[in-house]
C-alpha cells in the first residue's frame, strides 16, 4: 500500500491546550498507520502557527484529515486548520547554513534583498529568529541550499549594497560548543590607543604620531615603529602607567560581551600590540585571564625606553591565538578573533570566525565578516546568542 504526506497547520490566537488538541488529532490518525515526520511551531505576539508533517495511507484526503482534526476540537474560536499535500524533497545534497545579518534598523528593503539572494542561489529559508531589536536589529536565518559558495557571494553582495553586517556560517552543534574568543585591545576592546595615551602623558604626541604615520605608509614595519615610539618614553616614571590606565575607556558593549561569554562558558582572551603593564590589571578586574602583549622594561621605577620582550606583531598575534586554543583545548574551528587593524589580519585569517570590528577595507577583506556598529557585544549575535540570553542574569 502506498502512502501520502500531508502538512497540518494550525494558526490563530495561542492558548493553553492548542498543541495537545492538535496532537490528539494526530494520535487518532496514528492508529491508522500515521507517521509524524516533522513538527515546528512559532508564536509571535500571542499568535500561534503550529505545523505537523504526517505520512498516512493515501486513501486519506486532505478534506477528511481536516474533518478529523475538527472532530477532536482543535478548531476553536479564531483557530484555523489547513491540510495540504506536500511533495517529499531530496535534501541529500542540501546542507544548512546560518545567515546572520544586522543593522541599526533592518528594513523591508533589506529582507527583500536577502531573500532574493537566497532564491538566486537555489536555496530556501527554513527558519527566521529575531535575535535582537536593540541596540541593533539582528536576525538569524537557517538556510538550506546545494551551493554554499554561490549563496555566500550573493548574500555578501546584497549586504554590501545595503550596508548590512552579515555572517554566513555552517550550522551544527559546534555553535554551542566551547569557544575561545580572542580580541585585540586598542580600538577594539578599548576605545583608545594606549601608546597615544602614553605619548600624551609624556609630552611627545607629535613625534609618536609621526612614527605611526610612517608605519601606516609602509615606510617602517610595526616592530620597528613600536621600538621607536617606546624609546620616546625613556625616563618617565612607571607611575605614568597607572595614570594612563585610569584614562582608558572600554568600547560600548565590552563589559556585556565579556560577562556574557564567561557566563555561558566561553573563554575570552586578549592579544595586543599594547603593553602588559597597562592591560593586565584592567583585564584582571574584567575576569580575563589570557593575555598576550608587549612588556616595557622598567629599571628602578623608571621606563628605560626599551621593551622587555619580543614584539607582539601580526605574526605574534596569530601564534598567541594558536597557543591559547591549545591551552583551552579547542580546535581552531571553534575560535573567534576580533580586531580592527592590519596587525590583526593573520589572527582573523586563521580563526574559525574572523570578525573585523569597525576596520578598514583591507582588514575586512581578510575577515569572515565585519561589524560596522559601535557596540562590541554585537559579536555575540554571530555566535547565535540572543538579546534575551544576554540579559538573563
Active site positions, annotated: 184, 186
Q: How far is CA 136 from the centre of its chain?
A: 13
3-state secondary structure the chain: CCEEEEEEEEEEECCCCHHHHHHHHHHHHHCCCCEEEEEEEEEECCEEEEEEEEEEECCCCHHHHHHHHHHCCCCCCCCEEEEEECCCCCCCCCEEEEEEEEECCCCHHHHHHHHHHHHHCCCEEEEEEEEECCCCEEEEEEEEECCHHHHHHHHHHHHHHHCCEEEEEECCHHHHCCCEEEECCECCCECCCHHHHHHHHHCCHHHHHHHHHHHHCCCCCHHHHHHHHHHCCCCCECHHHHHHHHHCCECCCHHHHHHHHHHCCCEEEEEEEEEHHHHHHHHHHCCCCEEEEECEEEECCEEEEEECCCCCCHHHHHHHHHHHHHHHCCCHHHEEEEECCHHHHHHHHHCCEEEEECCCHHHHCCCCEEECCCCHHHHHHHHCCCHHHHHCC
Residue listed under C-alpha cell 477528511 = 64
User: Measured between alpha carbons, how far is 45 from 29 in angstroms, rounded to an integer?
Assistant: 31
User: Measured between alpha carbons, how far is 340 from 359 in angstroms, rounded to an integer?
Assistant: 4
Amino acid at each position: 500500500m502506498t502512502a501520502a504526506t500531508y502538512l497540518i497547520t494550525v494558526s490563530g490566537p495561542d492558548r493553553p491546550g492548542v498543541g495537545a488538541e492538535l496532537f490528539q488529532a494526530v494520535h487518532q490518525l496514528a492508529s491508522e498507520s500515521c507517521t509524524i515526520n516533522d513538527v515546528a511551531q512559532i508564536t509571535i505576539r500571542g499568535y500561534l502557527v503550529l505545523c505537523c508533517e504526517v505520512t498516512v495511507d493515501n486513501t486519506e484526503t486532505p478534506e477528511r484529515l481536516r474533518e478529523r482534526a475538527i472532530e477532536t476540537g482543535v478548531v476553536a474560536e479564531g483557530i484555523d486548520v489547513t491540510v495540504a499535500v506536500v511533495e517529499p524533497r531530496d535534501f541529500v545534497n542540501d546542507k544548512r547554513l546560518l545567515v546572520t545579518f544586522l543593522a541599526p534598523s533592518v528594513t523591508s528593503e533589506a529582507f527583500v534583498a536577502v531573500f532574493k539572494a537566497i532564491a538566486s542561489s537555489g536555496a530556501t529559508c527554513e527558519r527566521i529568529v529575531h535575535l535582537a531589536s536593540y541596540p541593533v536589529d539582528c536576525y538569524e536565518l537557517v538556510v538550506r541550499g546545494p551551493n554554499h559558495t554561490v549563496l555566500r557571494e550573493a548574500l555578501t553582495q546584497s549586504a554590501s549594497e545595503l550596508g548590512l553586517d552579515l555572517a554566513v556560517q555552517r550550522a551544527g552543534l559546534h555553535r554551542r560548543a566551547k569557544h575561545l574568543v580572542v580580541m585585540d585591545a586598542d580600538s577594539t576592546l578599548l576605545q583608545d590607543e594606549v601608546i597615544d595615551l602614553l605619548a600624551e602623558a609624556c609630552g611627545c604626541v607629535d613625534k609618536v604620531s609621526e612614527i605611526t604615520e610612517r608605519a601606516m605608509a609602509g615606510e617602517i614595519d610595526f616592530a620597528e615603529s613600536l621600538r621607536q615610539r617606546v624609546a620616546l618614553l625613556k625616563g618617565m616614571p612607571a607611575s605614568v602607567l597607572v595614570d594612563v590606565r585610569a584614562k582608558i575607556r572600554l568600547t560600548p558593549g565590552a563589559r556585556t560581551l565579556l560577562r556574557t561569554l564567561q557566563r555561558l562558558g566561553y573563554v575570552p582572551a586578549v592579544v595586543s600590540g599594547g603593553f602588559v603593564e597597562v592591560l593586565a590589571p584592567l583585564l584582571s578586574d574584567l575576569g580575563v585571564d589570557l593575555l598576550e602583549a608587549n612588556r616595557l622594561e622598567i629599571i628602578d621605577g623608571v621606563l628605560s625606553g626599551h621593551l622587555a620582550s619580543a614584539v607582539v606583531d601580526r605574526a605574534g598575534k596569530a601564534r598567541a591565538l594558536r597557543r591559547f586554543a591549545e591551552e583551552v583545548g579547542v580546535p581552531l574551528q571553534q575560535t573567534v578573533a576580533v580586531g580592527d587593524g592590519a596587525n590583526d589580519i593573520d589572527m582573523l585569517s586563521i580563526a574559525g570566525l574572523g570578525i573585523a570590528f569597525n576596520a578598514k577595507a583591507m582588514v575586512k577583506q581578510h575577515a569572515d565578516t565585519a561589524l560596522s556598529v559601535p557596540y562590541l557585544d554585537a559579536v555575540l549575535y554571530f555566535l547565535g546568542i540572543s538579546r534575551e540570553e544576554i540579559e538573563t542574569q
